[in-house]
Structure formats: C-alpha cells, structure tokens
Chain A
Amino acid sequence: MKAHVARFRFALGACARRAGRTASMMVGLAFITALFAAVVFLTDALRHEARLGIGELPDLMVQRTVAGRPALLDAAHVSSLTAMRGVRSVTPRVWGYLYVPSLEANLTVVALSVSPDASLALEGRLPRDAEDVVVGQALAERLGLRIGDEVALPAAERYQLVRVVGLFRSATALRTADVVLAREPLARALLGVPDGAYTDLAVALSVADEAPVVANRAAALFPGARVLQRSLLERTHALTFDARGGMLSVLLLPALAALLLLAWDRLTGLGEVERREIGILKAVGWQTREVLEVRVYEQLVVALTGASLGVALAYFYVFWLGAPGMAGALFGWSALYPELQLTPSVDASAPLSVLAAVVLPYVAVGLVPALHAALLDPLDAQRGRT
C-alpha cells in the first residue's frame, strides 16, 4: 500500500512538473464535461418535473376526430363510455387555447372540473363565481395582474370580462405559466365551445391494469376516437426530453472526440525530460508495471479533476443560473416563457455516467502511450533514443 501511495505522490509531482500541459488538459476536460453535464442535468430535471404530476392523470383520455381533425364530444359519448364495463367514472373536460393578440401568445384555458385543496399550488382561491379565474405567474406578470384585478380577454365572440381570484405560485410556473383556470361556463365562453360539447373525456377505471382492454373497446365503440393511455403519456414525456437532450449531446460528441484526439497527440509525444525521467526510474530498478502505474495515476488526476470541475460548473450553470442560452435552444421560445426553477433529481447515475463518459476514454487514450513509455529501454531513454 505504501508503495502505491509513494507512486501516486510521484505522479502528482510529475503533473506539477508539466504544469502547462496538466492545466490545459484539466481546463479542456472541464469545459467539455460541463457542456455534457448541463444537457444531462437539464433534461433530467425537466423529465423529473413532468413525471411528478403523472400519477394524478386519468387512466384513459378519449378524444374524437372527424376527417382526421380534432372534434368535440357530446353527452352521448359520455353515457356510452360510462356504461362500459370496467369504467368507474367519466369526467367530461373543456379546455383549449385562446390567442391573445395584445400578448401575441396563446393562453391555455381550462375549465375547473374538480375542486381539490389547492393551497399548495396557488395564492388566493379557486374560481367560485361566473367571472372568477386563476392565472399563471408569467401571464399575470405580462398583463400586470394581481388578485382582485379585472381584465377583458378576447373570447370567441366578444371580449369577456374576468376577475382574478387566484395566482398560481411561482414554483408551479413550469406547469402553469400560460394557464387560465375558470369555471366551465366562462371557459366555454372564452373558447367558443357550445353547451353540451366537450374537448375530451377523462376516464377512471375500476382496475387500472385493464386500460389497454378498455381502450380497445372504446376505440371500437367510437370510430375515429383517439384513446390515450396514461402509460403512453409517460412515454411521450420521456421521449420528448430524451430526444432533445440526446440530439444536443450528439452535437457535442465531435468536441469530445477533438479533445481526446488532442490528448492522444499530447500524450504520445514524450518530451526529452519525460524520457530521461523514465530512463532514470528504470535504471534505479523500477519495473515496467510500476512506470505504467505512475502514468495511469497522472491520467486519473488530470481526468478526475477536469471532469469533477466540469460537473460542478454544469450544476451551478443549470440550477443556479437557469441555463441561460442552452435552455432556450433545448426547450423552445414560447411567448409566455416560465422562469425555469428546476429541482435536481437526486440520482447519482447522471453525474456518474457523465464522469465515466469523460474519464474512462481519457484514461484509455493515455494507456497505449503510457505502455510505450514504460517499455522504453533505460539506456535508450537517457540517450534520447526511442
């Protein structure tokens, strides 16, 4: 053990003697690792946020299409579905998008269909009266709205006066930035949805595992219907963020390859001083294995320092600064953009995999040059012959 520690200390000294090369490699690795880790942290955090709400989704969601276009459902669909075996309840929902020219943005208008204890999610209260609405923080900031204010929104037929009785908390901005929550009659007026018509149906099943069976039966019952299962929605969330994160990671691969190529070039070119050093070590009795060990320690010190620094920088960039620049490129420029208040998912696999993706290739590209150096003949090495 003492011998290994001594060789590790010798490797540290060797790194210090080649300060310029060591520092430049550390900085290069830190930069590349930070880029990779930032993408991983961002996608991981957003996937985690999206997953948190999935448990409360209905087992099935039924939409209707006519001529391949989305269409409204009516009471007949509700009663047919309710009568289906295995269906516990059917909740008709009214929601949609409302374009506001003054904001040049779409609002997501949702009719309140349940009344849970919402104090965790909003300040104020849920809509009770006909004109009451709860709005998201980004929308409230754009319109300068506070609780108690009234504002006219451009409804389908005419401007509709609404009163703000609640604001979604800023911690929910990622989900509610553009949301207007209203009672059903007001939502219908804003969206132009006639009475008795619904945007989609939320279906709760007696046994959640029967979802594929009931989905097939519902699809057979309503030709042209789209039946969405909760498990498929989870998959879409995962796909959305994985695909975008993966695309950016692929774009960064050439940068990693370029750095490894540079490392290979630097490490294969043994300097005069290094050659003499190896020659002296072997002349005083060091074995090839021991020289190789020292070279691997050198690679590990450089790679671990650079990669750890990169992961820490990426964490600071994403979770303290909100990933300026990268977040927009990954997740879109919407008109009502929520302030990214991301929470890291406590899962060591992401930073560890980034560390491994950078450290292992770096150490690997250094192995062959290290073996080459370790196999040098002591006399040749001291005479400057390779």
Chain B
Amino acid sequence: MPRESWPLLALLSALTLLLLAGADAWRRNANHAERARMHGVLTQLTGSSDLALSSSSRWLRNPTLVEPAAAAADAPAILDTDPAGALIPPEPTVLGQSARSLRSMPATSTRHRRPR
C-alpha cells in the first residue's frame, strides 16, 4: 500500500473500531429480556428502582423517594455537594462521619469539649 494512503487506512481503522464497539454493545445486550426480568424482581424485593450509588448519604441513596427534610429535597438531581462531585474522593474517615459516630467519639482534648 503506498505511503500516501495512510489517511484512508486511519479512517477505515477508526470506522472498524466503531463497528467493533457496536458489535460488543449488541453482544452485551443479547440477554436484555433476562436482565429486565432480574431488575423487575429486584424492584419487587427492594421496593425501589434507585441505584446504590451514594449510600453514604441517605438523601442521595433514594433520590426518587427523597424526603422533605433532606438536604436535596427540592433538587434531587443537583450535583452531590456531600460527599460527591469531586474528582478526588474525600478521606474515608471524613466520608464515614455522621452525627451518630461523632456522638460516640470520645473527646480527645479539653479544647474540643463542649461547655456544660
């Protein structure tokens, strides 16, 4: 093949890759009916169709059932302010803190102790 034809070769290679991606998508969807049945069963079992993507924040775990007292009640679709929305995740210790764990945490110094 002459050297001048590399753009054609690049174009054909890119289109072939695109077709291969399409074929892979088709293959992965071969059992679509079974997956739909599985998701139906899961909805029956869990009572919700929400995805388990933000389980550390209760108002984000079930955006469709978001409660009026939740931080994201009016806009469950907003970007997560806590703890998501960042390319770098927060420290696991910060991520795991909650009112409950803070309450059970012993005071380490008098400076942080609440006044009686």
Contacts and interface: CB of A to CB of B under 8 A. Distances in A.
A333 B95 contact: yes
A97 B77 contact: no
Given A136-B52, A309-B14, A104 B67 contact: no
Contacts of A95: 46-47
A85 interface: no
A22 interface: yes
Interface stretch (A143-151, A157-165, A232-240, A280-288): A232-240
Given A13-B4, A332-B54, A344-B25, A228 B64 contact: yes
Contact of A240 (B22, B68, B77): B77
Overall SS of chain B's interface? helix
A191 B33 CA distance: 35
Interface stretch (A169-177, A210-218, A269-277): A169-177
B98 A99 contact: yes
Given A12-B5, A175-B51, A53 B40 contact: yes
A42 to B, nearest CB: 11
Contacts of A106: 55-58, 61
Nearest to A37: B21
Contact of A97 (B10, B11, B58): B58
A32 interface: no
Contacts of B80: 332
Contacts of A338: 51-53
A138 B51 CA distance: 13
Contact of A311 (B21, B45, B92, B104): B21
A335 B95 contact: yes
A325 B87 contact: yes
How many B residues touch the partner, as a band?
A: 35 or more
Nearest to A174: B51
Contact of B41 (A51, A120, A336, A346): A120
A154 to B, nearest CB: 9
A67 B46 CA distance: 28
B19 to A, nearest CB: 9
Contact of B46 (A50, A51, A175): A175
Contact of A333 (B36, B68, B83, B97): B83
Interface in A110-144: 110, 112-114, 116-118, 120-121, 126, 136, 138
Given A12-B4, A328-B84, A105 B14 contact: no
A302 B40 CA distance: 45
Contact of B43 (A15, A54, A120): A54
Interface in A15-73: 15-17, 19, 22, 26, 46, 49-57, 61, 63, 65, 68-70
Contacts of B51: 46, 49-50, 174-175, 338
Interface in A283-311: 301-302, 304-306, 308-309, 311
A240 B45 contact: no
A312 B14 contact: yes
Given A26-B10, A346-B29, A70 B69 contact: yes
Interface in B34-83: 34-58, 60-69, 76-80, 83
A244 interface: yes
A101 interface: yes
**Nearest 7 A-B pairs (CB), nearest first?**
A104-B96, A332-B84, A312-B17, A53-B49, A52-B39, A332-B54, A56-B43
8 contacts: A22-B7, A65-B67, A95-B46, A99-B98, A114-B44, A116-B45, A174-B51, A338-B52
Interface of A: 12-13, 15-17, 19, 22, 26, 46, 49-57, 61, 63, 65, 68-70, 93, 95, 97, 99, 101, 103-108, 110, 112-114, 116-118, 120-121, 126, 136, 138, 168-169, 171-179, 181, 200, 202, 226, 228, 232-233, 236-237, 239-240, 242-244, 247, 301-302, 304-306, 308-309, 311-312, 315-316, 319, 325, 328-329, 331-338, 343-346, 348, 351
Interface of B: 3-8, 10-11, 13-15, 17-18, 20-22, 24-26, 28-29, 32, 34-58, 60-69, 76-80, 83-87, 89-90, 92-93, 95-98, 100-101, 104
Given A237-B63, A334-B55, A335-B95, 11 more contacts: A53-B49, A70-B69, A95-B46, A101-B101, A104-B96, A116-B45, A118-B45, A120-B38, A244-B77, A311-B21, A335-B56
